[in-house]
């Protein structure tokens, strides 16, 4: 196994040896700053009894560090052209399993049953910017399998996930994540920490999974209202929900939403970005409990 992959010199050496280049198709940017790796590992708090699910090992930069700390590392990689690279960089490590698949198509429940020995796994990933949201929401829906999720994501995405109500960054993803986990930005990582260098900075985002949801509401109805609220941000909440749910089994009229908001002591003209998760849960209860 090649140690200290998180440098420009070693990364270039490995890529040149295998005649490999970062593929834009998969949003590949290889981490070349060891300090950032150490911050991710510290945030994830990897111990010798942990099974880690790594998404996107790339050339094995993070994988090698995880292997030295964890009991087992399961790395899911979509780009099969990296197979000879990982065979090279990770040779000799007997606690790593590579799954050559798209993480969005992997049976996470089966993966957990096969490798985790009944314990919750920890997720560590350097996610491509263009698929951050779908991958994160997929993981969170299986939150009972994971004790924590530590990700490298685009800085703006991390800020949206951790945003406060009433800010321009606040939106559906903020609330969606908050339902499943408590997010925290650990550190900002400048674009120069990657090769090729992206146009934006990144951030290390740590999420601790909730044992149970922080609000008691029908999840499908709750998420329906959240999506509706932010689908057309310029509309009032009542208008946005009425427009987005029209013709659906969950249809609500503007008048029904306004009535529920007034019962909550809120203005009928309020906009969705003013409500936190507890308020959305209360609104769901009032609108869908007949």
pLDDT per position as a tens digit, 207-218: 999 989 999 999
Alpha carbon distance 239, 255 (integer Å): 9
For residue 44, name the pLDDT band (cuts at 50, 70, 90): very high
Q: Per DSSP, what are the bridge partners of residue 102?
A: none
Q: What is the model's pLDDT at position 129?
A: 83
Q: What is the model's pLDDT at position 290?
A: 59
Residue 136 has pLDDT above 70, yes or no: yes
Q: What is the model's pLDDT at position 154?
A: 95
Nearest to 89 by CA among 13, 177, 193: 13
Alpha carbon distance 145, 261 (integer Å): 36
Contacts for 42 with CB less than 8 Å, ≥ 6 apart: none
Q: Which two tokens stand for residue 163?
A: 């945003």
**Helix (H) or strand (E) segment spanning residue 241:** helix 237-245
Residue 157 has pLDDT above 90, yes or no: yes
Task: Report the CATH architecture of 8-209.
Answer: 3-Layer(aba) Sandwich (3.40)
Q: What is the model's pLDDT at position 3?
A: 64
For residue 61, name the pLDDT band (cuts at 50, 70, 90): very high
CATH of domain 219-288: 1.10.8.100
Q: Per DSSP, what are the bridge partners of residue 30?
A: 195
Q: What's the rounded mean pLDDT across residues 154-181?
A: 96
- In the chain, residues under CATH classification 3.40.50.150 are 8-209
Q: What is the model's pLDDT at position 270?
A: 97
Nearest to 226 by CA among 178, 176, 177, 264: 176
Phi, psi of 117 (to 5 degrees): 55, 35
Q: Per DSSP, what are the bridge partners of residue 153?
A: 203
For residue 28, name the pLDDT band (cuts at 50, 70, 90): confident
Contacts for 145 with CB less than 8 Å, ≥ 6 apart: 108, 109, 112, 116, 120, 121
For residue 155, name the pLDDT band (cuts at 50, 70, 90): very high
Beta strand spans in 56-189 (E):
72-77, 96-100, 121-126, 146-154, 181-189
The structure's pTM equals 0.91
Residue 135 has pLDDT above 90, yes or no: yes
Which alpha helices (DSSP H) does 126-218 contain, by range?
132-141, 155-161, 172-180
- In the chain, residues under CATH classification 1.10.8.100 are 219-288
Contacts for 55 with CB less than 8 Å, ≥ 6 apart: 75, 76, 103, 123, 124, 125, 126, 127, 135
Q: Which two tokens stand for residue 15?
A: 């890529």
């Amino acid at each position: 196994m090649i140690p200290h992959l998180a440098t420009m010199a070693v990364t270039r050496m490995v890529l040149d040896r295998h005649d490999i280049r970062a593929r834009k198709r998969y949003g590949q940017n290889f981490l070349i700053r060891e300090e950032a790796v150490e911050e991710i590992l510290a945030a994830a708090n990897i111990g010798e009894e942990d099974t880690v699910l790594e998404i996107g090992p790339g050339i094995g930069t993070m994988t090698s560090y995880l292997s030295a700390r964890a009991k087992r590392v399961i790395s899911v990689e979509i780009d099969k052209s990296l197979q000879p690279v990982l065979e090279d960089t990770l040779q000799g490590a007997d606690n790593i399993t590579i799954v050559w698949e798209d993480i969005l198509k992997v049976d996470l429940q089966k993966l957990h049953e096969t490798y985790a020995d009944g314990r919750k796994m920890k997720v560590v990933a350097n996610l491509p910017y263009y698929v951050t949201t779908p991958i994160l929401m997929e993981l969170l829906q299986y939150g009972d399998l994971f004790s924590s999720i530590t990700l490298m994501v685009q800085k703006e995405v991390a800020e949206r996930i951790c945003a406060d109500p009433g800010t321009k960054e606040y939106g559906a993803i903020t609330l969606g994540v908050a339902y499943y986990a408590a997010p925290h930005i650990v550190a900002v990582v400048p674009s120069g920490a990657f090769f090729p260098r992206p146009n934006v900075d990144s951030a290390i985002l740590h999420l601790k999974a909730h044992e149970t949801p922080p609000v008691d509401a029908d999840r499908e109805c709750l998420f329906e209202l959240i999506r509706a609220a932010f689908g057309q941000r310029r509309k009032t909440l009542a208008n946005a929900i009425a427009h987005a749910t029209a013709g659906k089994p969950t249809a609500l009229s503007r008048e029904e939403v306004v009535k529920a908001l007034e019962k909550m002591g809120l203005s009928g003209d309020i906009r969705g970005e003013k409500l936190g998760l507890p308020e959305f849960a209360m609104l769901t209860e009032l609108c869908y409990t007949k």
